Amino acid sequence: MKRLLSFVTMLVFIGILTACAGNEGASTNPSDNDSSKSDFPTQPISVIVSYDAGGGTDITARTLTPYLEKELGVPVNVINQPGGSGWVGWTTLANAKPDGYTIGYLNSPNIAGGLVNPSVKRDVNLDSFEVLGNHVADPGVIAIRTDEDRFTNLEELIEYAKKNKLKTNGSGVASDEHLVSLMMNKKLGTNIEAVQFEGTANSSTAFLGGHIDILVTSAGEAYNLHNSEQLKVIGVAAKEKSAFLPDVPTFEEAGYEGVYSQATRGLAAPKGVDPEKIKILQAALEKAINNAEHIKKMEKTGTQVSYATSEEYRKMLEQDIKDITDLKDLLGW
């Protein structure tokens, strides 16, 4: 009987040793064994910009990426994919592999207008993206050439455009530039026709070359050209003046109400990225965007950093969609 007990005891002991050996080195924390969460990111991240190199969004992205690299510990590369008034890049972003290694900029109200437009059947909608946070908010401005002799200020421009046809720029139907000219026509009685261009770089070149009469753009994109006297900003389409163009009146200050425009540029990932990776990206973006050195560099370009959380940014995009839906009559939709 004693021998039997000893034998059983020995078997139990061996079983315990075997179990311990099998579990040796195993983590008690399940997340420690999930490299997709704990090690992310381990390779370069691509940032899709849906417009040409040299434009406002491109400059914005390239100013931010060094600080984002610092937070994530991997290279962050800007990939320009212009075309389709932004939709080539946005569609690529929405259809990208949801592994966290491809993110991109959403430009609104441009993307909002494309989502509202009933004539375009898109497979992409706002739910195709996992928004990460907003980077900048840029008021719209209207500019003239420095050698322009038909009008020299906003009042003269509006009075001239009431009697004469002028050409300006857009970056797609219902883009922020296009909406400004439509609002001016409806609210102020002007006769301004928008010619659509792919990105700010192309529209600025056409404007400076005399192919269009006036330029509608953002304060950030006009800032350096204004300061170097390559063009003259004569009006800000916002409720408050731009801090970077303090001497330029708003439309409202000049006596013209109802012409407002603000371009936002935020970042998003394709839908379906692991929530833990989304949290890592969101945290890195918040730190990078709010980095004091980054903010100073952005100020030099005349671009106002306006960080918003993913929840706040989502609401901003939803509001843009609502606002453009309310302007369907202006767009002929």
**Residue 158, pLDDT above cutoff 70:** yes
State how far the Cα of 270 lies from the Cα of 247, in Å rounded to an integer.
Answer: 41
Same domain, 175 and 114: no
- Number of other residues whose CB lies within 10 A of the CB of residue 266: 28
Please state, for a pLDDT cut of 90, what percent of the chain lies above it.
74
Same domain, 56 and 112: yes
The CB-side HSE value for 236 (13 A sphere, CA atoms) comes to 22
Same domain, 290 and 304: yes
Give the mean model confidence (pLDDT) for residues 95-111: 97
CATH (domain of 186): 3.40.190.10
Give the mean model confidence (pLDDT) for residues 194-212: 92
Same domain, 125 and 144: no
**pTM across the whole model:** 0.76
Residue 148: both structure tokens together: 């322009």
State how far the Cα of 281 lies from the Cα of 68, in Å rounded to an integer.
Answer: 9
User: What pLDDT was estimated at residue 255?
Assistant: 95
Does 323 fall in a domain?
yes
User: What pLDDT was estimated at residue 38?
Assistant: 59
CATH (domain of 71): 3.40.190.150
> Lowest-pLDDT range, 28-42, 79-93, 109-123, 138-152?
28-42
pLDDT tens string 30-62: 434 444 445 999 999 999 999 999 888 999 999
Give the mean model confidence (pLDDT) for residues 9-32: 45
Does 28 fall in a domain?
no
Same domain, 67 and 108: yes
Of 143 and 18, more confident: 143
User: What pLDDT was estimated at residue 13?
Assistant: 47
Same domain, 221 and 297: no
State how far the Cα of 115 lies from the Cα of 320, in Å rounded to an integer.
Answer: 10
Domain that holds residue 118: 44-137+262-331
Does 274 fall in a domain?
yes
pLDDT tens string 315-332: 999 999 998 998 888 888
Residue 250 DSSP class: B
Please state, for a pLDDT cut of 70, what percent of the chain lies above it.
89
State how far the Cα of 10 lies from the Cα of 14, in Å rounded to an integer.
Answer: 6
User: What pLDDT was estimated at residue 201?
Assistant: 84
By three-state DSSP, how is residue 14 classified?
helix
**Residue 9, pLDDT above cutoff 70:** no
User: What pLDDT was estimated at residue 36?
Assistant: 43
State how far the Cα of 69 lies from the Cα of 76, in Å rounded to an integer.
Answer: 6
Does 37 fall in a domain?
no
Give the mean model confidence (pLDDT) for residues 301-324: 94
Same domain, 146 and 103: no
Same domain, 110 and 169: no
Same domain, 146 and 230: yes
User: What pLDDT was estimated at residue 85?
Assistant: 87
State how far the Cα of 149 lies from the Cα of 152, in Å rounded to an integer.
Answer: 7
**Residue 275, pLDDT above cutoff 50:** yes
User: What pLDDT was estimated at residue 171?
Assistant: 87
Q: Confidence class of residue 18 from pLDDT cuts 50, 70 and 90?
A: very low
State how far the Cα of 83 lies from the Cα of 85, in Å rounded to an integer.
Answer: 5
Does 249 fall in a domain?
no
pLDDT tens string 231-271: 999 999 998 899 899 999 999 999 999 899 988 999 999 99
Q: Confidence class of residue 14 from pLDDT cuts 50, 70 and 90?
A: very low
User: How many folded domains does the chain comprise?
Assistant: 2
Does 11 fall in a domain?
no
Of 200 and 127, more confident: 127
Strand (E) or helix (H) holding 266: strand 262-270
Mean pLDDT for all residues in the chain? 89
User: What pLDDT was estimated at residue 11?
Assistant: 44
Q: How does strand 45-49 pair with strand 76-80?
A: parallel
User: What pLDDT was estimated at residue 28?
Assistant: 42
Give the mean model confidence (pLDDT) for residues 6-17: 46
